[in-house]
Chains A and B, each alone.
Chain A
Amino acid sequence: MDPANLSVQQITAKINKKELLLTELGAILAGRSKYAQKKLNLFISFDPQLFTEQIKKNEQSTQVNRPPLWGVPVAIADNITTVDQKTTCASRLLAAYQPPFEAQAVSLLQENGALLIGKTNLEEFGLGCAGNSSYFKPVKNPWDIKRTAGSGAAAAVASGLATFALASDVRGEIRQAASYCGVIALKPTYGKIPREGLIDSASSLEQTGILARRVSDLAWALQVLAVPGNNNPPAVKRPLYPEILGNIPAKTRIAVPADWDQAPLLEEGIKNNFREQLNKLARVGLEINYVTLPHFQYASLVATIIGAVEAFSNLSNLDGVRFGYRKEGKHLQEMYIKTRSAGFSSKLKKFLTLGGLLSTKKYYNSHFLQGQKMRSIIKKELLDCLQENELLLTPTTPCNAILLDSSPPAGEELPDPAAYYTAAANLAGFPSLNFPVSTNGLPYGLQFMAKKEDEGVLLQIAFLLEKEPIKWPIFALELQEV
């Protein structure tokens, strides 16, 4: 078996039995990463030497009780801080930024024996998946390099460079990228994974999530990461996620919005495939209930309003004073304008201007406040639905990964059509999971949503559907030859 496609448990077992040497695994991954980087541009920081040093440290450790992620290669999106590698958020403004502190999630992974393979490329400040805003150029999709991958984290997991990856989700980014790259992704309940060290652009929506190829790997990652943060009261009770995967409740009810096929830009292929998937689920004995969620259609719009206003404020610290890029000006205000105009991508400049507009007195009540009220309605509808059903199911994205050089450029629409199905979970703070399926040789995903703290049932449904190992993109097979 390809050593890069071992599960968390297999890696640990093989290392313990000395059937696998970390150095051997490391060498394979380092070689492939170099190749993949050239082809896909999925990393912003990849330092083979740092990677080798971590492996050495693990190899020399005499620790008897090895933690669960021992020797597991993981990738970290570059908007999560690391102390030994810069953290850029794919922005010119932070292109050389070296944080003086490490994200709590990253520390947890390292304490549990994981190896950080690199910092992955993303849209600037983690907003969107269209491949149109990274200062370091877009990430190419391992299934088709003419298309966006959504994020380097998704591309790295899909290509087998990392067993799992951490990335953030503002309006559905990790689920969309997973949908585009054919991997599993979980956006947990808001606050479930500590937010310390996440460079968030929209704090009330954004949450660190996990991408993986296997449900069990994702379960192990969640087990390690779902701890109370510094600012969170201790979690009530944490299930042992890896152990409950097979125990899906006998009568699992799945709600599907009756008008799921009304999404703008929904592709015919996905429409047909999703219908087939619904039939399949019914055949394995799951109860499918069609429900009405009258305001679900506003989720992406509302998340755009709230996201723009929060980003306008959150990203105001990028002012060329204490860190990051500065473009000189004759006086303070000119320096701000020059720095930020040259530092942000066009997409972010427009988005932050929108946030500025929607928070002015004139628009505050009619847009921002109205949006926050609509958020309450959407949340209530979801909650009511998820009290009657264990899960809510939709496609994750209305289309396959979009072409990088499409004309007119895609992904600039307001609101983003790609977030049509995903944004509601961010508004409500609910957990949501992408399970990959495919159509026309390209992946897309089924999106499940559950009540707060119900990650368990999301993992269980994914485990049930995970009949066969996930399909590899052609590129991953190509990599195995490297």
Chain B
Amino acid sequence: MTAFEAVIGLEVHVELLTQTKLFCSCSTDFGAAPNTQVCPICLGLPGGNTPRLNKKAVAYAIKTALALNCQVAQEITFDRKNYFYADLPNGYQITQHFHPMGKKGFLPVNVAEKTKNIGIHQVHLEEDAGKMFHVGDILSSPFSRVDFNRASVPLVEIVTEPDLRTAEEARLFLQKLRNTLLYIGISDCKMEEGSLRCDANISLRPLGSKELGVKTELKNMNSFRAVYRGIEYEIERQTGILQEGGTVIPETRHWDEEIGATKSMREKLSESYRYFPDPVLLPLKTDTKWLEEILYSIPELPDSRYKRFTEDYGLPPYDAEVLTSSRDLADYYEQALQTYPEHKNLSNWIMSELMGLLNANNMEITACKVEPPELGDLLKLIDQGTISGKIAKTVFEEMFTTGEKPEKIIREKGLTQISDEETLLKIVDTVVTAHPGSVEDYHNGKNKALGFLVGQVMKETKGQANPRLVNKLLQKKLSN
């Protein structure tokens, strides 16, 4: 049987975090009442053909192109993609067909311990369409309702080269891309809300062949999991067809999450898109000074941060990977380092305690009430012996819920560790007197008995006793 190789390219749309639309000053706020964020320009009203380009959207698109190592266009031009659809107010979408904002970039992705550069074919700026609501599903809906609030919201489209070979590679790439875009702050990249959308072009070819096979376009994948499963399914489906000697039909297919399969869209009209330069939007030169400003606004990206975390901080690769997987998390870590420069210890705490609580509460790091320096303070208190590690976990939970400072919680709850020998000696005496059996066991060589007695002292002190000191005092007492 012939072995096949999948050739996958992604088209990723991200909504930009601008206040206003691409060509008018209507708000882009999510969730407003239908058709309350529209004007003559974005509603395509006659006489409203006076687009006014949003500076921030252009800057964000350039920033994206730079972060993805693209060559940036020297002149910004826009083209019209003409077609009729109910969610498209003008009968054309304004996009950058002939001269995209960025070309010939790449994004390094770690695949199976190796770094693979995935080619970025282009990055371009375009406008979104409106939203349609159907009565029931699209197939049976007798009519549809249209809301144009999203019409003309700025999007950046990132088109990869067909460099991906497996569903896993696609998923890893998409995660890395999302992470990078979050780092540069151009989008909130929420797949569930549609601010990050991913389509995939998938074809198969005999292993070793250089030619491309017939591709299908896969749409409607609304989560990372869906991207993975959708591509996986489509590869299997195409493999099945080819192995039976059939041919793949070039078509658009929808991923159906519920049934876990891709379905043909059965598009009846073969729409011939027309592109031509928008005669209204004059070209705009990208001046060097502005480009430099944008370049400086790009923060340190995950790859270089990862390198620094492993090399400068000596963190294990796993820790560095987790911590740099989000800019906010890495920022948190580095801010906490300012008060607590124990790299690995801090990393452990963030990865287990902090992330554990975040996950349990389904929260983002940005919503965390514990300020990074306060986490540092808490860890310092452990090292100084003021509280035990165990107590610290309780204190941290309290900090996480209330946002109070650790010292205050410890003081108010009286959680300070008891390290005073005299005080502890009295309790040790009481415990030893109360458990003659255990003392005898200890003397008979049963070391476990010591643990029991330490536990009793801890119980008496509600866990505040310094366990190391208790141990020492008990051993001393029993050897007498």
Do A and B interact directly, with beta carbons closer than 8 Å? yes
Q: How far is the CA of A324 from the CA of B45 in the complex (A)?
A: 10
How many Cβ-Cβ contacts under 8 Å join chain A to chain B?
Answer: 90
Q: How far is the CA of A323 from the CA of B90 in the complex (A)?
A: 12
Residues on the B chain within 8 Å of A359, using CB: 82, 274, 276
Inter-subunit contact A313/B82 (CB<8 Å): yes
Inter-subunit contact A316/B82 (CB<8 Å): yes
Residues on the A chain within 8 Å of B90, using CB: 316-317
Chain A, range 49-83, C-beta contacts under 8 Å to B: 80-81
Residues on the B chain within 8 Å of A336, using CB: 84
Inter-subunit contact A317/B47 (CB<8 Å): no
Inter-subunit contact A200/B49 (CB<8 Å): yes
Residues on the B chain within 8 Å of A333, using CB: 84, 269
Q: How far is the CA of A200 from the CA of B40 in the complex (A)?
A: 14
Inter-subunit contact B52/A321 (CB<8 Å): no
Inter-subunit contact A230/B80 (CB<8 Å): no
Residues on the A chain within 8 Å of B356, using CB: none
- Shortest beta-carbon distance, A253 to chain B, in Å? 32
Inter-subunit contact B86/A332 (CB<8 Å): yes
Inter-subunit contact A94/B46 (CB<8 Å): yes
Known: A196-B50, A231-B50. A361 touches B272 (CB 8 A): yes
Q: How far is the CA of A196 from the CA of B47 in the complex (A)?
A: 7
The stretch that binds B, out of A99-107, A286-294, A473-481, is: A99-107
B44 close to chain A: CB less than 8 A: yes
Known: A319-B91, A332-B86, A336-B84. A309 touches B276 (CB 8 A): yes
A430 close to chain B: CB less than 8 A: no
Q: How far is the CA of A110 from the CA of B48 in the complex (A)?
A: 20
Q: How far is the CA of A267 from the CA of B28 in the complex (A)?
A: 58
- Shortest beta-carbon distance, A170 to chain B, in Å? 12
Residues on the B chain within 8 Å of A97, using CB: 46
Residues on the A chain within 8 Å of B43, using CB: 322
Q: Which residue of A lies closest to B280 (CB)?
A: A203
> How many residues from B make CB contacts under 8 Å with A?
28
A351 close to chain B: CB less than 8 A: no
Partner of B44, one of A195, A197, A200, A317: A317
Inter-subunit contact B91/A231 (CB<8 Å): no
A360 close to chain B: CB less than 8 A: yes
B136 close to chain A: CB less than 8 A: no
Partner of B91, one of A230, A313, A332, A361: A313
Residues on the A chain within 8 Å of B276, using CB: 309, 313, 359, 364, 368
Mark B341-371 against chain A: 1 for CB-CB distance below 8 A, else 0: 0000000000000000000000000000000
Residues on the B chain within 8 Å of A99, using CB: 40, 45-47
B106 close to chain A: CB less than 8 A: no
Partner of B84, one of A94, A101, A200, A316: A316
Inter-subunit contact B40/A313 (CB<8 Å): no
B108 close to chain A: CB less than 8 A: no
B92 close to chain A: CB less than 8 A: yes
Partner of A87, one of B46, B49, B91, B274: B46
A167 close to chain B: CB less than 8 A: no
A204 close to chain B: CB less than 8 A: yes
Q: How far is the CA of A87 from the CA of B89 in the complex (A)?
A: 19
Known: A231-B52, A316-B92, A368-B276. A199 touches B46 (CB 8 A): yes
Q: Which residue of A lies closest to B144 (CB)?
A: A332
Q: Which residue of B lies closest to A195 (CB)?
A: B50
Known: A200-B49, A323-B45. A317 touches B89 (CB 8 A): yes
Inter-subunit contact B46/A89 (CB<8 Å): yes
A312 close to chain B: CB less than 8 A: yes
B279 close to chain A: CB less than 8 A: yes
Chain A, range 301-329, C-beta contacts under 8 Å to B: 309-310, 312-319, 321-324
Q: How far is the CA of A387 from the CA of B49 in the complex (A)?
A: 34
Q: Which residue of B lies closest to A94 (CB)?
A: B46
Q: How far is the CA of A317 from the CA of B146 in the complex (A)?
A: 15
Inter-subunit contact B84/A317 (CB<8 Å): no
Mark B16-49 against chain A: 1 for CB-CB distance below 8 A, else 0: 0000000000000000000000001001111111
> How many residues from A make CB contacts under 8 Å with B?
45
- Shortest beta-carbon distance, A322 to chain B, in Å? 6
Mark B251-293 against chain A: 1 for CB-CB distance below 8 A, else 0: 0000000000000000001001010100110000000000000
Q: Which residue of A lies closest to B82 (CB)?
A: A313
Partner of A322, one of B45, B84, B144, B274: B45
Q: How far is the CA of A202 from the CA of B52 in the complex (A)?
A: 18
Inter-subunit contact B89/A101 (CB<8 Å): no
Q: How far is the CA of A312 from the CA of B280 in the complex (A)?
A: 14
Q: Which residue of B lies closest to A204 (CB)?
A: B279
Partner of A230, one of B40, B52, B84: B52
Residues on the B chain within 8 Å of A199, using CB: 46-47, 49
Q: How far is the CA of A81 from the CA of B46 in the complex (A)?
A: 8
Inter-subunit contact B40/A100 (CB<8 Å): yes
Q: How far is the CA of A87 from the CA of B48 in the complex (A)?
A: 13
Q: How far is the CA of A197 from the CA of B39 in the complex (A)?
A: 13
A130 close to chain B: CB less than 8 A: no
Chain B, range 66-109, C-beta contacts under 8 Å to A: 80, 82, 84, 86, 89-92
A215 close to chain B: CB less than 8 A: no
A44 close to chain B: CB less than 8 A: no
Residues on the A chain within 8 Å of B272, using CB: 360-361
- Shortest beta-carbon distance, B390 to chain A, in Å? 65
Q: How far is the CA of A331 from the CA of B310 in the complex (A)?
A: 60
Chain B CB within 10 Å, residue with most, of A89, A315, A322, A368: A322
Inter-subunit contact B50/A100 (CB<8 Å): no
- Shortest beta-carbon distance, A335 to chain B, in Å? 9
Q: How far is the CA of A30 from the CA of B405 in the complex (A)?
A: 81
Q: Which residue of A lies closest to B44 (CB)?
A: A317
A198 close to chain B: CB less than 8 A: yes
- Shortest beta-carbon distance, B36 to chain A, in Å? 14
Residues on the B chain within 8 Å of A361, using CB: 272
- Shortest beta-carbon distance, A179 to chain B, in Å? 26
Inter-subunit contact A100/B82 (CB<8 Å): no
Partner of A103, one of B47, B84, B269: B47
- Shortest beta-carbon distance, B164 to chain A, in Å? 29
- Shortest beta-carbon distance, A337 to chain B, in Å? 10
Residues on the A chain within 8 Å of B52, using CB: 230-231
Mark A183-211 against chain B: 1 for CB-CB distance below 8 A, else 0: 00000000000011111101110000000
Chain A, range 81-100, C-beta contacts under 8 Å to B: 81, 87, 89, 94, 97, 99-100
Residues on the B chain within 8 Å of A310, using CB: 279
Residues on the B chain within 8 Å of A332, using CB: 86, 144
Q: How far is the CA of A99 from the CA of B51 in the complex (A)?
A: 17
Partner of B50, one of A80, A230, A364: A230
Partner of A321, one of B46, B50, B80, B146: B146
Chain A, range 357-379, C-beta contacts under 8 Å to B: 359-361, 364, 368
Residues on the B chain within 8 Å of A100, using CB: 40, 45
Inter-subunit contact B47/A81 (CB<8 Å): yes
- Shortest beta-carbon distance, A414 to chain B, in Å? 20
Residues on the B chain within 8 Å of A195, using CB: 50
Inter-subunit contact A197/B47 (CB<8 Å): yes
Chain B CB within 10 Å, residue with most, of A198, A200, A313: A313
Chain A CB within 10 Å, residue with most, of B46, B51, B146: B46
Partner of A101, one of B40, B80, B269: B40
Inter-subunit contact B49/A313 (CB<8 Å): no
Inter-subunit contact A87/B280 (CB<8 Å): no
Known: A309-B276, A313-B276, A316-B84. A322 touches B47 (CB 8 A): no
14 A-B residue pairs with Cβ-Cβ distance under 8 Å, sorted by A, are: A80-B47, A103-B47, A197-B47, A199-B47, A203-B279, A204-B280, A231-B50, A309-B276, A313-B276, A315-B91, A316-B90, A317-B90, A322-B45, A332-B86
User: Interface on B for A, CB 8 Å cutoff?
Assistant: 40, 43-52, 80, 82, 84, 86, 89-92, 144, 146, 148, 269, 272, 274, 276, 279-280
Q: A99-B47, A203-B280, A359-B276 are in contact. List 6 more A-B contacts (CB 8 A).
A: A100-B45, A195-B50, A203-B279, A315-B91, A316-B90, A333-B84
**Those 8 A-B pairs whose CB atoms lie nearest each other, nearest first:** A316-B91, A204-B279, A317-B44, A81-B47, A203-B279, A199-B46, A359-B274, A197-B47
